[in-house]
Amino acid sequence: MVISFNENISNFKTGLWARGYSHSLRKITSEVKFTEQKSALKQTAKVRKKILPFVTTYHPAWQPNFKNILISKWHLTENQPLLREIFKEPPFISYKKEIFK
C-alpha cells in the first residue's frame, strides 16, 4: 500500500492536533511545494571517505597527549612520498579496552 505525500501530511497534522499542537501548523505544512517534494525524494550519491583508524590500547597516563603528539608529528608522514600516497589524511584515533588475562 502506497500512501501519497498529501496523505502523509494530513496524517501528520492530525497527529499533531491530537497531541494539542496549535492549528497554526496548517500554514507551515501548506508551504511545502510539489518541487520541494520531488527534490526531497531524490537520492544523492554520498561521497565516501576512506578513514584510517589508528587503534591503540587505552592507558590513562599517556592518552591525553597521544593525539597531540601524533598530529604534531604528522608532517613527518607527509614528507615521505610513499606514505603521503597511502595516508592522505591524519588517522582517526580510537582506543580499545585493555584485556587482562
The three-state secondary structure class of 92 is strand
Show the domain range for 57.
53-96
48 occurs within a structural domain: no
Q: Which residue has the cell 588517522?
A: 91
In this predicted structure, what is the pLDDT of residue 79? 93
In this predicted structure, what is the pLDDT of residue 71? 86
Task: Choose between 97 and 77: higher pLDDT.
Answer: 77
26 occurs within a structural domain: yes
Residue 11: is its pLDDT beyond 80?
yes
Tell whether 90 and 70 lie within a shared domain. yes
Which grid coordinates are listed for 4? 501519497
What totals of helices (H) and strands (E) does the chain contain, helices first?
Answer: 6, 2
Q: How many domains does the chain have?
A: 2
E strands, 12-77, are 53-57
Residue 75: is its pLDDT beyond 80?
yes
Q: Which residue has the cell 527534490?
A: 39
Q: Which residue has the cell 544523492?
A: 44
Tell whether 92 and 61 lie within a shared domain. yes
In this predicted structure, what is the pLDDT of residue 81? 92
Tell whether 36 and 57 lie within a shared domain. no
CA-CA distance, 35 to 1, in Å (whole number)?
A: 24
